[in-house]
Amino acid sequence: MQRINRTWLDRRPDDLVPLLHPDMTLVLPGFAGRVEGREAFVAGFADFCGNATVHEYREANHQADVIGDTAVVSFTYEMVYESSEKRSCATGRDLWVFVRQGGEWIAVWRTMLDLAEQPA
């Protein structure tokens, strides 16, 4: 999880590719749609990295549950970022599912819960 967050915070979205399953799925907040496939998932991070500057990012309340070759990871976050001349504060809970393949953990599914955004 730390490697995933470090890559997009360092504005290196293409480095996410080996950390994600080819069928990676993102369920959008509020179950308002889906992003299916690693390429589409990475494209969303690339768009954010190309159009926003993260000024602050904090995580807390980390939890990982591992059963066999499956792990569910969640944490709360707070982020202050700027895009299109607008500064925003986003908070929420990130929820990821990983599977172990070949001794490596790779992400297969993600959603964001309790998402709130307001002007910073």
CA torsion, ordered 72, 74, 109, 118, to nearest 10 deg: 170
d(CA 109, CA 104): 16
Q: What is the pLDDT of residue 29?
A: 84
Q: What is the pLDDT of residue 105?
A: 97
Q: What angle do CA 39, 45, 50 make, to 5 degrees?
A: 120
CA torsion, ordered 51, 54, 59, 63, to nearest 10 deg: 20
DSSP readout, 10-57?
Answer: TT-GGGGGGGEEEEEEEEPGGG--EEESHHHHHHHHHHHHHHEEEEEE
Contact present, 32 and 61 (Cβ < 8 Å): no
Using 50, 70 and 90 to split pLDDT, how confident is the model at 120? confident
Poorest-pLDDT segment among 25-34, 44-53, 93-102: 25-34
Tell me how crowded residue 28 is: count the other CB atoms within 10 A of its CB. 14
Token pair of 43 as six digits: 């494209």
The average confidence (pLDDT) of the chain is 95
Residue 31 has pLDDT above 80, yes or no: no
Q: What is the pLDDT of residue 40?
A: 97
pLDDT top residue among 31 and 53 = 53
Domains and CATH numbers, the chain: 2-115 (3.10.450.50)
pLDDT tens readout for residues 58-94: 999 999 999 999 999 999 999 999 998 899 999 999 9
Q: What is the pLDDT of residue 32?
A: 83
